[in-house]
């Protein structure tokens, strides 16, 4: 919230601005269909109050946290929001602060800790409560800036830990657009991040020693533009296990070096076999000859 909420239009069209603008949806959103919750609407506030009063008690038995969103908010959408009528940051920033504060107060009242995406802190320059956890995704610098502000951080740099990268462009091109200009049709975060890339990522890179305690943990991300139940398992596993070990054990070994892929490779292969034995269709990480023969495949 407030972006990535266009699906609400189908039941409550009065709450959404800039819904499914065609053909220039890219002016108003990161991907189609465009649409964002109106930013200065009492009807939106009433809707969220009802929605979260129903949802948050269901979450409480299972989590101490609730993520309220905040990524990829498109300023231009508010030119089409009659409650705002502007895309100027000076107009929008106090409204966004009010919007986020309202949501977070309701989350706290349910006994949960709010989480937001990094843009709310680092782009919109909001002042979240001291308890708010900030989820970073765009860079190591974002992690360092978050902890420097005194906030706890979750990490997941898309250059390393986005699982959906490298599947190619999923959008078609309208008639008259030379698609050859976009060859070889990479997606925004290509190439695909294999397990070695994920294993090489240090979530604490650039974070000073006196701030590492503020990095609570992290998350790998699997977005759904080209993922459904048919290919979910192989896209997530066993790559997510490599990130899991980094989070549990740290990216560096006792000598301060990146953990050895030579020793990790057979352990990850074994993990893959355990997953397959349990019906999880995890993809192989290398051919069995290499798994069974130590370092004979090493370059």
DSSP, residue by residue, 164-228: TTTS-------TTS-GGGGTTT--TT-S---HHHHHH--TTTT--GGGGGGEEEE--B--STT--
Whole-number pLDDT of residue 81: 98
Question: What are the tens digits of pLDDT across the range 111-146?
Answer: 999 999 999 999 999 999 999 999 999 999 999 999
Whole-number pLDDT of residue 203: 95
In the beta sheet, which residues pair with residue 66?
A: 114
Q: Give the residue among 247, 244, 290 at the shortest CA–CA distance from 265.
A: 290
Q: Which long-range contacts (CB under 8 A, 24 or more apart) does 139-146 make?
A: 140/205, 140/206, 141/206, 142/118, 143/203, 143/204, 143/205, 143/206, 143/207, 143/215, 144/206, 144/207, 144/208, 144/211, 145/121, 146/118, 146/121, 146/122, 146/214
Whole-number pLDDT of residue 176: 83
In the beta sheet, which residues pair with residue 218?
A: 155
The pLDDT of residue 157 is above 90: yes
Question: What are the tens digits of pLDDT across the range 255-281?
Answer: 988 899 989 999 999 999 999 999 999
Mean pLDDT over all residues of the chain? 95
Buried b (16+ CB within 10 A) or exposed e, 139-177: ebebbbbbbeeebbbbbbbbebbbbbbebebeeeeeeee
The pLDDT of residue 89 is above 90: yes
Question: What are the tens digits of pLDDT across the range 29-73?
Answer: 999 999 999 999 999 999 999 999 999 999 999 999 999 999 999
Query: Domains in the chain, ordered, with CATH?
Result: 39-260 (3.20.20.80)
Whole-number pLDDT of residue 293: 82
Q: What is the DSSP letter of 277?
A: H
Whole-number pLDDT of residue 264: 93
Question: What are the tens digits of pLDDT across the range 218-244?
Answer: 999 999 999 999 999 999 999 999 999
In degrees and rounded to multiples of 5, residue 112 shows phi and psi of: -115, 160
Confidence of residue 294 (pLDDT cuts 50, 70, 90): confident
What is the number of alpha carbons within 13 Å of residue 191 lying toward its C-beta?
A: 5
Question: What are the tens digits of pLDDT across the range 240-258?
Answer: 999 999 999 999 988 988 8
The pLDDT of residue 95 is above 90: yes
Q: Give the residue among 288, 244, 283 at the shortest CA–CA distance from 266.
A: 288
Confidence of residue 299 (pLDDT cuts 50, 70, 90): confident
- SS3 of residue 67 by DSSP: strand
Of 5-9, 148-152, 207-211, 293-297, the poorest mean pLDDT is in 293-297
Q: Give the residue among 194, 197, 193, 195 at the shortest CA–CA distance from 268.
A: 195
Question: What are the tens digits of pLDDT across the range 61-79?
Answer: 999 999 999 999 999 999 9
The pLDDT of residue 298 is above 90: no
């Amino acid at each position: 919230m407030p972006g990535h909420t266009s699906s609400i239009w189908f039941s409550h069209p009065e709450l959404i601005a800039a819904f499914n603008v065609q053909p220039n949806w890219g002016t108003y959103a990161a991907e189609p269909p465009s649409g964002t919750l109106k930013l200065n609407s009492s009807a939106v506030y009433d809707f969220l109050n009802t929605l979260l009063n129903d949802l948050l008690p269901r979450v409480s038995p299972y989590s101490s946290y609730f993520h309220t969103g905040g990524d990829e908010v498109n300023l231009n959408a508010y030119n089409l929001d009659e409650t705002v009528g502007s895309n100027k940051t000076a107009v929008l920033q106090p409204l966004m602060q009010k919007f986020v504060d309202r949501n977070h107060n309701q989350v706290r009242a349910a006994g949960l800790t709010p989480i937001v995406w990094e843009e709310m802190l680092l782009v919109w320059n909001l002042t979240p409560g001291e308890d708010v956890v900030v989820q970073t995704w765009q860079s190591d610098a974002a992690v360092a800036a978050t902890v420097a502000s005194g906030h706890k951080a979750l990490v997941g740099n898309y250059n390393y830990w986005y699982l959906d990268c490298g599947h190619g462009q999923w959008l078609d091109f309208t008639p008259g657009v030379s698609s050859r200009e976009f060859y070889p049709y990479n997606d925004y975060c290509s190439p695909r991040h294999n397990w070695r890339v994920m294993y090489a990522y240090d979530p604490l890179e650039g974070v000073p020693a006196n701030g590492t305690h503020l990095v609570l943990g992290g998350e790998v991300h699997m977005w759904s533009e080209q993922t459904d139940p048919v290919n979910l398992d192989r896209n997530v596993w066993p790559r997510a296990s490599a990130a899991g070990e980094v989070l549990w054990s740290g990216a560096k070994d006792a000598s301060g070096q990146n953990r050895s892929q030579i020793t990790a490779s057979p352990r990850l292969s074994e993990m893959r076999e355990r997953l397959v034995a349990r019906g999880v269709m995890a993809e192989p990480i290398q051919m069995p000859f290499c798994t069974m023969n130590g370092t004979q495949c090493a370059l």
